[in-house]
């Protein structure tokens, strides 16, 4: 349920047209792809590789024993039901694990897999995989991969982050990176690690396909949300994605996220409101992860760490 990749919208117009039809099958398939586009970027694959790529994190100035505090542990698995107008269209799974780079730096490996159900797959099978590897010391990405399998559409892409030189790579593009940057998946988990208060915004820069975007998530209100996994007191957020502070929101349709109001900051629900109707991803199953036994970073709480790392708000 992370955020959309801006380039995907135009390439999915045919699906959105199909979604406007009165025929339930094509409409549901179009809605499923639309919500995946908004929440996670574009596309995925047939499953997660057992072994990740060889990574080097460098940046000797950062201690391997002082980690950015996060509200999740290795092995956390969250399963969601995706529905359009109360009609189930597929399932999405978010999973985290801990790995180590070739130079001994701890990293978070985060995986998103989204699949259409049997009914939708008859019209338009979707199997999407996104993965990111994040330096656990300061929670910035080292590598992002997407592998898209949607109907006849296939796409495989890689983004790499040279955090020592502050250069982001996508295909042949080389882009200067700001002091703090996230990718599509890590930006979602970054939101989980921030203190939330009604009326305040969480801001961070996000790199995608050779460009840096401004992500702003406004904390709107508190709500009680009921799911198959339980009833939660939550914060309701509205993320917006722009190329600059004055540009319009790149999300096509309004996107809302609900995070639990507790130390876990569980992403309980996501909803996008579009002309074809609301599409909702609702938490169905929780498998708790194992927290690292290593010491936390220089700050001992999420709040104090966030104050040190958040970019300043735009004037």
DSSP assignment of 112-175 equals EEEEE-HHHHTT--EEEEEEEEEETTTTEEEEEEEEEEETTEEEEEEEEEETTTTEEEETTEEE
Residue 56: the pLDDT is 78
> What's the CA gap between 82 and 33, in Å, rounded?
10
Q: How many whole angstroms separate alpha carbon 30 and alpha carbon 25?
A: 9
Map tokens 């596309």 to a residue: 43
> Residue 58: what pLDDT?
82
pLDDT of residue 14: 41
Please give the pLDDT value at position 53.
Answer: 81
Whole-prediction pTM value? Answer: 0.80
Stretches in the chain below the pLDDT threshold 70: 1-51, 245-253, 292-315
Q: Report residue 49 as tokens.
A: 């590789």
pLDDT computed for residue 251 by the predictor: 53
Q: What is the pLDDT of residue 313?
A: 42
> CA 266 to CA 70: how far, in whole Å?
12
Q: Which long-range contacts (CB under 8 A, 24 or more apart) does 193-196 make?
A: 193/68, 193/69, 193/70, 193/71, 193/139, 193/265, 193/302, 193/305, 193/306, 194/302, 194/306, 194/310, 195/302, 195/303, 195/306, 196/235, 196/237, 196/259, 196/261, 196/265
């Amino acid at each position: 349920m992370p955020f959309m990749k801006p380039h995907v919208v135009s390439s999915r117009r045919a699906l959105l047209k199909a979604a406007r039809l009165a025929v339930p099958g094509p409409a549901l398939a179009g809605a499923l792809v639309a919500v995946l586009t908004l929440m996670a970027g574009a596309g995925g694959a047939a499953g997660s590789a057992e072994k990740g790529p060889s990574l080097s994190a460098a940046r000797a100035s950062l201690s391997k024993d002082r980690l950015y505090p996060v509200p999740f542990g290795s092995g956390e698995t969250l399963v969601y039901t995706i529905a359009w107008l109360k009609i189930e269209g597929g399932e999405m799974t978010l999973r985290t694990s801990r790995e180590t780079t070739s130079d001994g730096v701890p990293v978070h490996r985060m995986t998103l897999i989204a699949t259409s159900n049997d009914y939708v797959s008859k019209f338009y099978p979707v199997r999407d995989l996104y993965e990111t590897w994040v330096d656990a010391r300061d929670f910035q990405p080292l590598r992002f991969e997407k592998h898209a399998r949607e109907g006849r559409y296939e796409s495989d892409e890689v983004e790499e982050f040279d955090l020592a030189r502050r250069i982001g790579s996508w295909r042949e593009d080389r882009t200067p990176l700001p002091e703090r940057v996230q990718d599509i998946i890590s930006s979602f988990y970054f939101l989980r690690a921030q203190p939330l208060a009604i009326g305040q915004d969480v801001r961070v820069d996000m790199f995608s396909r050779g460009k840096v975007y401004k992500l702003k998530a406004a904390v709107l209100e508190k709500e009680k949300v009921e799911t198959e996994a339980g009833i939660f007191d939550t914060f309701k957020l509205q993320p917006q994605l722009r190329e600059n502070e004055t540009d319009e929101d790149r999300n096509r349709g309004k996107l809302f996220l609900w995070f639990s109001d507790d130390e876990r900051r569980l992403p309980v629900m996501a909803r996008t409101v579009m002309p074809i109707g609301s599409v909702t991803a609702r938490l169905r199953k929780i498998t708790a992860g194992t927290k690292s036994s290593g010491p936390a970073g220089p700050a001992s709480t999420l709040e104090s760490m966030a104050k040190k790392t958040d970019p300043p708000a735009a004037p």
